[in-house]
Amino acid sequence: MSKSLDYISNIEKLIKEVKETQMNSLKQSAEIIAESLIKDGMLYIFGTGHSHMLAEELFYRAGGLAKVYPILDEGLMLHSGATKSTSFERLHGYAEALLDDYPVKEGDVIIIASNSGRNAVTIEMAMEAKKRGMQVLALTSLKHSQSATSRHASGKRLFELADVVVDNCGCAGDAAIEFEGTGNVGPTSTVIGALLLQAIICEAVDIMLTKNVKPEVYISSNVGSGDNNQALIEKYKKQIKCL
């Protein structure tokens, strides 16, 4: 088997595992999000390093919910200094200061994506969100996180703090394809993470519709969004600063 096909087959196995083990967590997450949005809450999403891509995955895109607010901090992303972001995600106290800059309120929901779930910023983001009355959904790798120690003074890992844990079912270290003479290649957390997030959103939309609430959803501007998207932007641009 070629290594490219090996990787694709590994992703297929992970999808099968997700279907067999994570549907209850997906449904719980969707119910929490739907209930919050029905009550005028906001869905926040946060990740550091490569996990910040999952924060952007749900934001301002065709078929996406309008009330999604990604927490994007350049110090925790890769484009302004990759090694610096690794240092920043281990800083105690950074999450509190970061969350202070967002209009979070009781009843809002935050999805925190972290494959290892062990770094200080991720753990403190969960702690701070709960202090402020938010519900915390974790997207993580239990195999990785349970095999690692926390880098936070509390000794906690993300999965130990969340209201609901969604497991991406990936291996410790994320990269899944073995090669002789080098380290593993082919991380899976982004592929599976995006799948899980979009599955949750589909489920949340369905729940809202069953409760006779029409979700606010962006339409692709390349197939004719009409006035739909502009109306949503005008409605939320003062709330969501990155719109």
Domains and CATH numbers, the chain: 17-236 (3.40.50.10490)
Nearest to 45 by CA among 108, 117, 90: 108
> What pLDDT digit, counting tens, does each position of 75-131 carry?
565 566 655 455 555 556 678 888 999 999 999 999 999 999 888 889 999 999 999
Burial of residue 58, with CB atoms counted within 10 A of its CB: 0-12 exposed, 13-18 middle, 19 or more buried: buried
Q: Give the single-character DSSP code of 65.
A: B
- What is the rounded distance in angstroms from the CA atom of residue 158 to the CA atom of residue 118? 7
- What is the rounded distance in angstroms from the CA atom of residue 176 to the CA atom of residue 183? 10
| 3-state helix vs strand vs coil in the chain, percent to 5 | 45, 15, 40
166: left (phi over 0), alpha (psi -120 to 50) or beta: beta
First CA to last CA distance, the chain: 45
Q: What is the pLDDT along the chain (243 residues), one digit of tens a residue?
A: 699 999 999 999 999 999 999 999 999 999 999 999 999 999 999 988 788 899 999 999 999 999 999 998 765 655 666 554 555 555 566 788 889 999 999 999 999 999 998 888 899 999 999 999 999 999 999 999 999 898 888 989 999 999 999 999 999 999 999 998 898 999 999 999 999 999 999 999 999 999 999 999 999 988 876 789 999 999 999 999 999
- What is the rounded distance in angstroms from the CA atom of residue 190 to the CA atom of residue 113? 10
pTM higher than 0.85 for the full model? yes
Q: 155-177 b/e with 16+ CB inside 10 Å = b?
A: ebbbbbbbbbbbbbbbbebbbbe
- What is the rounded distance in angstroms from the CA atom of residue 46 to the CA atom of residue 54? 8
Burial of residue 107, with CB atoms counted within 10 A of its CB: 0-12 exposed, 13-18 middle, 19 or more buried: middle
